[in-house]
Structure 1
Amino acid sequence: MLEILYRDEHIVAVNKPAGMLVHRSWLDKHETRFVMQTLREQIGRLVYPIHRLDRPTSGVLLFALSSEDANKLCRQFEQKFIYKTYLALVRGYVAGKGEIDYPLKIRRDKIADKFSREDKEAQAAITRYQSLKTVEMPYPAGRYSSARYTLLQLTPQTGRKHQLRRHMKHIFHPILGDTQYGDLHQNRALAEHTGVSRLMLHAQCLGFHHPRSGDYLEIFADTDEQWKGLMATFGW
């Protein structure tokens, strides 16, 4: 059963579990569980995905209950009228707040993007960040004798593929548990000493205007048990 965060006659939002695909994909033909199909069976209605979260990312995921409402909501994403915040656990200490303005080249999947152009210019990509908490743990991580971590709130101003993960790598503070852009030594140390190996990226809040009433809504998703356990271990 998916955790339903909000539902009315026009939209439904769920707390997507880490490791679950949003919908069926030819990139993983052997997967049998998808958020879209699970939600459809759970509420007995067709659902229309408005956006996506990477498979290892958890948090707020929004669906419409009609194609008309889906089109209205998708336009809000296209016109950047959406407010999104994420929680991310990253390597090292990050102080204060700031903005990462670093254009990103399109990254192609071997199958899904096989027909896309490789010569496109890098696209504008902006992420704002704010440091929430820091901790130093007394165990080695890679070449370091101890492990330092920062809990960040990330607010993307654009929606490029893997933007948050790539931006954090760009400033040398990769997200823990990121097997594609992260630090494998840091990931291994975290898993060995805490048991947590998932990508530590969580879609915390999604703000948008309701497709019918026009009212502004903000939907929040709580973190899962792995997040809570890690926060307890860190004394946060």
Structure 2
Amino acid sequence: MSDIKVIFQDDDLIVVDKPVDLPIHKNDFMPADAPYLTKEIGVLTGKSVFPVHRLDSKTSGVIVLAFSREIASELAQQFEQRKVEKTYAVVCKGIPGEGTFNKPVVIKKKKKRVNAYTAYKTIKSISTKISYKDITDVALSLVIAKPETGRWHQIRQHFAFERLDILGDTQHGDWTLNKIMTAQTDIKRLLLHAYTLTFTHPVTTEKMKVTAPIPEEFEQVLEQLNGYEVCLTDD
């Protein structure tokens, strides 16, 4: 619970910086005493807590929760109607530049693909001497991504489609590069972070922009892998 930083709180809602690997709510696969966000925030505030939107347990960053079902419903409608602006920070393989990914993505547990759009802009890039398989001198980039639709693992899928795999992604990403990152930096996490949210407060009608600072691990990976040399000939 000490790892959960409160960004904003009033009588109606709370915004926190969710730690990596913490689920939002309990599921059937978790031990009875396992921590999850709504439980921890309930203990922290002494109030009933209702989730408003989704954030994968492996993704850190800004998330909004409500203190009543009514407020949660009003906020959820803003997400469903795409009235909320979301930005994420990622560290990925390659140098994406700037543009929009528009390939359809897979819906969770279904074979069906649906339309999805993610705008992106590269903020910083570094070069390495990492080589493996058919890849030489891997570049890495810090990128800001803005999903215009809200699909399951949308950002992760979009980057993976273009071979711009997000570091630490064990489901859609590059396993070899993940191993290299962890071996050199001791960091073993998905480098995807919910950076900002802009929404309208359902009671005060104030336009709110809330920010969860980019984790130190993102810059640490770029610093420690900058110019790093390794050549793997047998994966």
Asked if Structure 1 and Structure 2 have the same fold, meaning a TM-score greater than 0.5 normalized by the shorter chain, the answer is yes
8 A contact 2:106–2:152 mirrored in 1: no
Structure 1, unaligned stretches of length 5 or more?
109-117
- Rounded to whole Å, the distance in 1 between the matches of 2:194 and 2:33 is 23
Q: How does 1:4-153 map to 2 (within 5 A)?
A: 4-29=6-31, 32-95=34-97, 97-108=98-109, 118=110, 121-153=112-144
Matched with 1:181 is 172
How many percent of aligned residue pairs carry the same amino acid?
29
What do you get for the CA RMSD once the two structures are aligned? 1.8
Matched with 2:230 is none
Structure 2 CA distance for partners of 1:231 and 1:135, relative to 1, 3 Å: closer
1:225: Cα distance to partner? 3.7
Aligned pair partner of 1:197 in 183, 188, 194: 188
Matched with 1:229 is 220
Secondary structure of 1:18's partner? coil
- What is the TM-score of this pair, normalised by structure 1? 0.89
1:124: Cα distance to partner? 1.6
Structure 2, unaligned stretches of length 5 or more?
227-235
Q: Supply the AA of the counterpart residue of 1:157.
A: E
Deviates further, 141-150 or 199-208: 141-150
Structure 2 CA distance for partners of 1:183 and 1:221, relative to 1, 3 Å: same
After TM superposition, what 4+ stretches of structure 1 lie above 2 angstroms from structure 2?
Answer: 27-31, 137-147, 223-235
**Residue deviations 1:84-123, cap 9 Å, x none?**
000000111222x101111223221xxxxxxxxx47x522
- Rounded to whole Å, the distance in 2 between the matches of 1:140 and 1:193 is 14
Secondary structure of 1:13's partner? strand
- Rounded to whole Å, the distance in 2 between the matches of 1:53 and 1:142 is 33
